[in-house]
Structures are given as structure tokens and as C-alpha cells.
């Protein structure tokens, strides 16, 4: 079932809540929605898990205020949802931009019900290059993305989808995936790109004190596989599982392996 939760006055986020058992909260990436986890939503409840997919503010069915697309505010939104649902002993899974937001949530809210963390193609600890962090896009590359969003958002998102996958995807799938991105509010798409460009989550990693599974495509052109070495080094109890046949879209390209690794990790 789906329902709305008020995360701040007059701002509601949409939550898809399916199945019973141990809760797994899924945080999507830029610029899509919880619907990107279709193949987890259809599979994990069979194994006794409760799928909870949050549409971040500005995305999917959630409200889209003008501001609040920084990681701190997004983490506060997750906190509001988790508190309202009164979850216990839950797992938290973050894909791409959802990864550093999930980590920021654990860093900011020490009293939380999260017992395990899953990072999928995470844009963590930083999406853009910095001193002593030579991986990812240059900030100017994100500036170009933002300019293209303002000039022709539809074409930019189609090109972005083309970078997403290592495997050849069907035309029908590509149309569906593009539509997920087009459903997002334009200003949220731009403001979140600014957050991806500017946020630095390196100090957050040491705040993760739960077992962490890092799943990442070896051919990722958006969040390079090199990111995993920083996450693995910074998160004390973490394990990296490489996906040899995936780009950024590992939840689609090797969905059976993703689900297998998640279930194995949660049952372990």
C-alpha cells in the first residue's frame, strides 16, 4: 500500500509499503523515484521482508517544495518517515545519490532503528573530484549537466540514461526509465544536481557502525568503482561485492544477483 507522511509543515513524501517482516527502506537515486526498485519490490517480500520505498521530496509522487534538496534535509525527511512508521531492526538501502543521503541520516541521527546498511552504486563519499579525491566528475561537469537541464531537460535525461547501463537494454525499458526521470520536478532535479556537486560526505563514513554491504558495478561511468575503496576504508564493518557485468544500473542489469546478495546479507 502507499501512503503520505508529513516530513515538515505542508511537505509530504510518498511511501510505498509492501509485504511483512523485517523492513528494508529503499532510497532511490537522481532523478528517479522508488519505482526504480521494481525488481526488489516484487522479490524481497517473498523472503519475509517488508519493502519500504520512499520517494524523496521533489521526486515521484512526493511534494516538491522549492528548497530542501541538500543531504541534511533529505536525511531529516528519512528520519521523519522512519519515526512515523515506528520501525525497529530495519535495513536501509541507498542507491547512487540515495547512498550518501542514507549515510548522512546515520551520521545525524544516532538513535535510529537501522541494523544494516546496503549501498548500491553509491555516490559516496563524494560525487565530484576534490583535493585527495581524484575520482568522479569534475565540478564543471556537473555545471554542464545543470546547464543542459535548463536548456533541454528531456534530452539531457535521455543522454544520462545512455550512460547508466553497461548492458544493452530494451527500447521499452529505456522509455520507461526515461519517464521515471521526467516525472521528477524540474527544480528538484536541478537543486539535487547542485547537492551532488557540492556535498562532501567523507566525515560521515566513520559514523556508520552497522554491518554494511557495498554493491557496485565494475563498469559504472557515473559513480566509478573506485568510490568503493573509500567507502570500504571509511566504514568499519563493510564488504564490497563487485558486479562484473553492470554499469551504474546494477539493480536492473544483474537484478537476480542484487537480490541474492541482499537476502544473503540480511539473513547472515
CA distances from 171 to 51, 174, 178, 221 (A): 28, 5, 11, 20
**CB 71, CB 202: distance < 8 Å:** no
Pairing of strands 114-120, 212-217: parallel
Tell me which of 33, 96, 192, 238 is the catalytic residue. 96
How many CB atoms are located within 10 Å of the residue 251 CB? 28
pLDDT reported for residue 156? 96
Tell me which of 107, 220, 238, 246 is the catalytic residue. 220
> In the annotation, is 96 catalytic?
yes
- Cα-based angle 147, 133, 110 (whole degrees, multiple of 5): 95
CA–CA separation, 149 and 157 (whole Å): 8
Q: Helix, strand, coil proportions of the chain in percent (round to 5)?
A: 45, 20, 35
pLDDT reported for residue 1? 84
Give long-range contacts, CB 8 A cutoff, 24+ apart: 40-47.
Answer: 40/93, 40/251, 40/255, 40/258, 40/259, 40/262, 41/16, 43/259, 44/19, 44/259, 44/262, 44/263, 45/18, 45/19, 45/20, 45/21, 47/263
Pairing of strands 212-217, 238-243: parallel
Nearest CA among 26, 17, 160 for reference residue 91: 26
Q: What is the pLDDT along the chain (268 residues), one digit of tens a residue?
A: 899 999 999 999 999 999 999 999 999 999 999 999 999 999 999 999 999 999 999 999 999 999 999 999 999 999 999 999 999 999 999 999 999 999 999 999 999 999 999 999 999 999 999 988 999 999 999 999 999 999 999 999 999 988 999 999 999 999 999 999 999 999 999 999 999 999 999 999 999 999 999 999 999 999 999 999 999 999 999 999 999 999 999 999 999 999 999 999 999 8
pLDDT reported for residue 166? 97
**CB 54, CB 24: distance < 8 Å:** no
> In the annotation, is 144 catalytic?
no
Nearest CA among 138, 142, 123, 92 for reference residue 202: 123
Sequence-ordered list of residues with C-beta below 8 angstroms from that of 9, at least 6 positions apart, any chain: none
Return the CATH number of 2-267, one of 1.20.1090.10, 3.40.50.1820, 3.50.90.10, 3.30.70.60. 3.40.50.1820
> In the annotation, is 229 catalytic?
no
Helices and strands (H and E) in the chain: how many: 9, 8
- In terms of C-beta density within 10 A (0-12 exposed, 13-18 middle, 19 or more buried), how is residue 39 classed? middle
pLDDT reported for residue 29? 98
Amino acid at each position: 500500500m502507499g501512503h503520505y507522511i508529513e516530513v515538515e509543515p505542508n511537505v509530504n513524501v510518498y511511501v510505498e509499503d509492501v509485504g511483512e517482516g523485517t523492513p528494508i527502506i529503499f532510497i532511490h537515486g537522481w532523478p528517479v523515484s522508488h519505482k526504480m526498485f521494481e525488481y526488489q519490490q516484487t522479490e524481497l517480500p517473498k523472503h519475509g521482508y517488508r519493502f519500504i520505498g520512499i520517494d524523496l521530496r521533489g521526486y515521484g509522487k512526493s511534494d516538491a517544495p522549492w528548497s530542501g534538496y541538500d543531504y541534511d534535509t533529505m536525511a531529516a525527511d528519512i528520519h521523519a518517515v522512519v519515526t512515523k512508521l515506528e520501525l525497529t531492526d530495519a535495513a536501509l538501502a541507498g542507491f547512487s545519490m540515495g547512498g550518501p543521503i542514507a549515510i548522512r541520516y546515520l551520521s545525524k541521527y544516532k538513535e535510529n532503528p537501522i541494523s544494516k546498511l546496503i549501498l548500491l552504486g553509491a555516490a559516496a563519499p563524494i560525487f565530484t573530484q576534490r583535493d585527495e579525491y581524484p575520482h568522479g566528475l569534475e565540478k564543471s561537469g556537473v555545471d554542464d549537466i545543470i546547464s543542459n537541464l535548463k536548456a533541454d531537460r528531456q534530452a539531457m535525461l535521455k543522454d544520462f540514461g545512455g550512460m547508466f547501463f553497461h548492458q544493452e537494454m530494451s527500447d521499452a525499458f529505456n522509455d520507461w526509465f526515461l519517464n521515471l526521470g521526467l516525472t521528477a520536478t524540474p527544480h528538484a532535479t536541478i537543486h539535487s544536481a547542485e547537492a551532488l556537486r557540492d556535498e562532501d560526505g567523507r566525515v560521515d563514513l566513520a559514523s556508520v557502525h552497522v554491518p554494511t554491504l557495498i554493491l557496485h558495478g565494475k563498469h559504472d561511468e557515473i559513480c566509478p568503482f573506485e568510490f568503493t575503496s573509500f567507502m570500504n576504508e571509511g566504514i568499519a564493518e563493510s564488504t564490497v561485492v563487485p558486479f562484473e557485468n553492470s554499469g551504474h544500473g546494477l539493480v536492473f542489469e544483474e537484478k537476480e544477483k542484487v537480490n541474492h546478495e541482499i537476502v544473503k546479507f540480511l539473513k547472515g
